[in-house]
């Protein structure tokens, strides 16, 4: 089972005079992750490196930002992957302390920074959502809305025309049962779009 994080968590490590400021946080996609990284660069203009790793399905990334290849982003990504996290961005801002750490030292420092930040993070199970859309008579709208609320579905849009069209998302595991319940409460008059 995959997990995401309830909120951002931070940690700071000092390794041979270098300062590593780590953050792990939930993000929906690569664009949001890049916006966070850009903000960090603006907040830390004197930082030597702003490295990051993103686990977001097909949008995953590992960025070393000038560190030797594979010594920052990849170890951070492996920590996220090992914890089965999805939709999570790990960032580490490094201020160089004057002592070179070597490739092995960098790998350990970046991985440990993310691990320390994750100690304060609260993982939450990631629920895959299925988008659905149905059309139904006006008289059934209230009953369908109650079924959606009971199933924890998220209503995305409602359009009132000759019929009521409701677009919503529900947990993948609950979708088939909800479709059946909506069929029951509408007496088979709900159409699926």
Q: Mind listing the pLDDT tens digit for each residue in 100-124? A: 888 899 999 999 999 999 998 888 8
Q: Mind listing the pLDDT tens digit for each residue in 152-178? A: 888 989 999 999 999 998 888 888 999
Question: What percentage of residues in the chain have a pLDDT greater than 90?
Answer: 53
Residue 123, helix vs strand vs coil: strand
What's the pLDDT at 174?
85
Q: State how far the Cα of 159 lies from the Cα of 71, in Å rounded to an integer.
A: 52
CA-derived radius of gyration, the chain: 23
- 135 has which bridge partners? 165, 191
- Residue pair 110/92 in contact (Cβ under 8 Å)? The answer is yes
Whether residue 48 is predicted with pLDDT greater than 70 in this model: the reply is yes
- Residue pair 18/62 in contact (Cβ under 8 Å)? The answer is no
Whether residue 1 is predicted with pLDDT greater than 70 in this model: the reply is no
Q: The whole model's pTM is what?
A: 0.69
């Amino acid at each position: 089972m995959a997990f995401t994080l309830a909120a951002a968590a931070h940690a700071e490590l000092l390794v041979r005079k270098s300062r590593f400021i780590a953050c792990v946080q939930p993000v929906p996609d690569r664009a949001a992750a890049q916006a966070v990284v850009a903000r960090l660069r603006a907040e830390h203009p004197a930082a030597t490196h702003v490295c990051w790793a993103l686990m977001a399905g097909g949008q995953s990334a590992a960025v070393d930002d000038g560190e030797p290849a594979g010594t920052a982003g990849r170890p951070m990504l492996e920590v996220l992957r090992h914890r089965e996290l999805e939709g999570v961005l790990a960032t580490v801002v490094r201020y160089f302390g004057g002592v070179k750490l070597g490739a092995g030292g960098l790998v350990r420092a970046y991985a440990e920074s993310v691990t320390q930040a994750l100690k304060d993070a609260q993982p939450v199970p990631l629920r895959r959502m299925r988008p659905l859309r149905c059309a139904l008579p006006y008289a059934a709208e209230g009953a369908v809305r109650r079924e959606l609320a009971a199933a924890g579905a998220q209503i995305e849009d409602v359009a009132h025309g000759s019929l009521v069209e409701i677009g919503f998302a529900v947990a993948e595991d609950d979708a088939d049962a909800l479709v059946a319940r909506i069929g029951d409460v509408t007496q088979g008059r709900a159409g699926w779009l």
